[in-house]
Amino acid sequence: MKLNHIPYTLSFSVLLFAATSYAQVKPEEKKTDKPTGALTEEIVVERPYKPVLADAAKIRRSPDLNSTKALKSKQNYSILNRKLELNSEIRQLQAQPLSQAAVPPPLANYAKLGLGNFSTGLAELYLNTGADEGLQAGVFAKHLNQEGSLTKQQFSRQELGIFGKSVLDKITLNGELGFDRYASYYYGFSADSGKTIHANPEKQRYSTFTLKGELIKNYEENPPVDYALKADAYLMSDKFNAKENSLALSGFLNKVWKQFNIGVNTSLDITQTKDSASIGNHIFRANPYIKLQGETYKLALGVNLVQEFGTNSRFNFFPAITAEIPIVPEFATVFGGFTGNINKSTLREFSRENPYLNQNVGIQNAVEKTNIYGGIKGNAGAGFGYKAMLFYKKINDMALFRNDRDRQERFNMIYDDAKVTGLEGEVSVKISETVSWQGKVNINTYNMDIQEKAWFMPEFRLSSNARVNIKKKLTLDGEIVVNDQTYGVKYNPDPVMVKIKSYVDFSAGAEYLYKEKYGIFLRANNIFGNKYERYLYYPKVGLNVIAGLNYSF
């Protein structure tokens, strides 16, 4: 800084101080006559206000920063014993409930009566105690008769049964007593001669009394053991005094331990067949097993122990191994197995499949020595299921029907060893309660040991049925069966193999419900009118139609 500026700066400061002091002189004060140099005015200097707290109001104790004790204030509550409502808001309008009409009880009983061409008559009656699933009892009766255009081409069937069911706290009991009668004639018709083989065909009739009983343990969350017992008995006879009596007792025990199921299936079957000779065909079976079930697989290991006794005695030991592994959970599961068993032969089963049996048919059990199978099954949605399986079987003494040399309209039983390779497929579709459809196909190849063919056994068979319910008033259903060609033997006089043509059997029906209790129905069988032969010399009737009334109560 330059020093020659100091005098000017000092002079400017003195003048500024003097001006400031003059501005603070009170105007009402007057000058005195005192000599020059004495104070003649009172100067008051004002400063900004600064408050100062007195020492008496200060808190001289420092806070304790280490104290963690929480302050708990005492609170008093007054709990009301009723809910407070805010009435200031607009309340929601309440709909006036409609008076509900009484729901009618379900109709558990019905009667059906129908008539059709070929002198067809149909009658059915079903009576039940009601809708209580815990306690049920009832009775049913059925009758069907038909007469074709050929001599003595007549059929009739009657069924009668009484049943009961009781669900108790721990077990469920089921029982049924029944009677079945089927009558026909040996009306064998030869296409070569254009007439029946015998001018006056004989009548055949099978009568069977049945008794069934079942005891099942009810479901529990963690049961100590699961079990079930079942009894089946029947008395059968035909018009030529052939008889068969049977009593079968079966049951199982199963214990769950962690991921394992350990148990045994067992049965005792006592069957006596009497014709010109008496044959005792008794079987005891035991199937101990252990099953391992994880989240993504199932595996069962066991054995089939089968003891045959009676007229013939034989002990059999077979493996029983099965497995399942899902490849797409809930949609696709691959499965397979390796098993074996004894397939029991009875007069009752043979007559159900072919009622035109000869007298004194041979009874011999088939031995399924090897059964290897594998496939895939699953669901594609809630209403679609499927299954496809390949298998290979080695069977000793497989039963076959073959026409008798002397009475060609009758059939004997013959037995031969066979190797069977096949494919089975099933499809099931259900669209709510309105539409449902099922289909099944079987493709088999038979390699026989002695016989030229597996007589009357088709290598291809397709069956399918569908059902449609329209507004719970009209129900439509249809069924189709496609059977590949088969082979039989006729004698002229030497045995000659003949081909039996393939056939298609299509049937359909409709039922209309009128005012809940009354209904009408219409049924057409063999719509294509094919007089095909399932067995040699026994053509079926053509197109037959049945119409009638239903009544529910």
Per the domain annotation, does 88 fall within a domain? no
Does residue 316 sit within a domain?
yes
β-pairing verdict for 154-167 and 171-185: antiparallel
- CB-based contact 242:229 (threshold 8 Å): no
Residue 259: predicted pLDDT: 87
Q: Mean pLDDT across the stretch 304-315?
A: 96
Angle at 469 between CA 467 and CA 472, to 5 degrees: 150
Write down how long the chain is: 553
Residue 90 lies in a domain: no
> Which region holds residue 315: left if phi is over 0, alpha if psi is between -120 and 50, else beta?
beta
Mean pLDDT, the chain, whole residue set: 87
pLDDT tens readout for residues 410-427: 999 999 999 999 999 999
CA 486 – CA 73 distance, rounded (Å): 100
Decide if 2 is inside a domain.
no
Give pLDDT, residue 23: 42
CA 177 to chain centroid: 27
Is residue 16 helix, strand or coil? helix
| DSSP β-ladder status, 314-328 and 518-525 | unpaired
Residue 512 lies in a domain: yes
pLDDT level of residue 63 (50, 70, 90 thresholds): low
pLDDT of residue 462: 97
Burial label, 120 (beta-carbon count in 10 A; 0-12, 13-18, 19+): buried
pLDDT at 282 > cutoff 50? yes
Residue 100 lies in a domain: no
Which amino acid is residue 169, in one-letter code? Answer: D
Q: Domain tally for the chain? A: 1
- Would 447 be classed as within a structural domain? yes
pLDDT of residue 140: 97
**pLDDT at res. 514:** 86
User: Residue 322 in contact with residue 300, Cβ under 8 Å?
Assistant: yes
Q: List pLDDT tens digits, range 169-183.
A: 999 999 999 999 999
Predicted pLDDT of residue 330: 79
pLDDT at 433: 82
The pLDDT assigned to 1 comes to 40
> Is residue 232 in some structural domain?
no
Q: Which residue has the higher pLDDT, 22 or 272?
A: 272
In the chain, the amino acid numbered 198 is H
Range of the domain at 488: 112-210+310-552
Residue holding tokens 């994880």? 294
pLDDT for residue 105 is more than 90: no
Residues facing 289 on adjacent strands:
263, 302
Q: Do 518 and 553 meet the contact criterion of CB atoms below 8 Å apart?
A: no
Handedness of CA 508, 513, 519, 520 (dihedral sign): negative
pTM: 0.79
Q: Are 456 and 448 in contact (CB under 8 A)?
A: no
**Range of lowest pLDDT (107-111, 321-325, 399-403, 405-409):** 107-111
Confidence of residue 4 (pLDDT cuts 50, 70, 90): very low
| pLDDT grade for 221, boundaries at 50, 70 and 90 | confident
In the chain, the percentage of residues whose pLDDT exceeds 70 is 81
